[in-house]
Amino acid sequence: MKAPIPDSYWVEPGRLLAGEYPGAPAEADARTKVQRFRDGGVTSLVDLTEAGESGLLPYEDLLEEGMRTTRLAIRDLEHPSEPEMVAILDRVDAELAAGEVVYVHCWGGVGRTGTVVGCWLVRHGDAPEEALEKIAGWRRDTPDGRKRSPETGAQRAFVHGWRAGR
């Protein structure tokens, strides 16, 4: 299943997608990106960015009917606390259980997004290194595929420290 935009990838095709910020500097470009997510079936966006981060323009007003966003911010290049990660993963799982198609994103779709996806995979039974290898494989053909995801050593260590069921 093809991802809606180049810098995104399916974690579970048709259910869970991850990648870069869905907005853009020009409103017309942002509208096009949002429409691609809608066409891909996305109904719930989990935003890991901080409000006003790096001059990112909000996209919430561009969401179409049936789409919503939830901000669960993580500081750029960092990882959340364990309770914060549990809350993020619980939200993703609740959305999936409700039949939503979820898009998890940060700014570039590399560090924070990779950390959340890695922990989500471990929660659901993958070994940490297996989770990181899957992310690398899914990202291989994206424009930022050369970047390691999660991005920092601390983020990768956080995934390695996560356990199934947490």
How far apart are the two ends of the chain, measured CA to CA in Å? 29
Residue 56 pLDDT class (50, 70, 90 cuts) = confident
Element (H, E) at 18: strand 16-19
Domains of the chain, first to last: 8-161 (3.90.190.10)
Q: Are 139 and 149 in contact (CB under 8 A)?
A: yes
pLDDT in the model for residue 74: 99
The label of the residue with tokens 């995979």 reads: 121
The one catalytic residue in 72, 106, 117, 131 is 106
For residue 12, give every residue at least 6 positions away whose Cβ sits within 8 Å of its Cβ, in sequence order, or none. none
- Stretch 97-119: mean pLDDT: 99
Summarised one tens digit per residue, pLDDT across range 19-46 is 999 999 899 999 999 999 999 999 999 9
**Catalytic residue list contains 119:** no
Summarised one tens digit per residue, pLDDT across range 119-151 is 999 999 999 999 999 999 999 999 999 999 999
CA angle 77, 96, 107 (to 5 degrees): 25
Q: What is the average pLDDT value for the chain, to the nearest integer?
A: 97
pTM value is: 0.97
| In 54-93, beta strands by DSSP E | 68-71
Identify any residues that bridge with 18 across adjacent strands, giving them in sequence order: 9, 104
- Stretch 69-97: mean pLDDT: 98
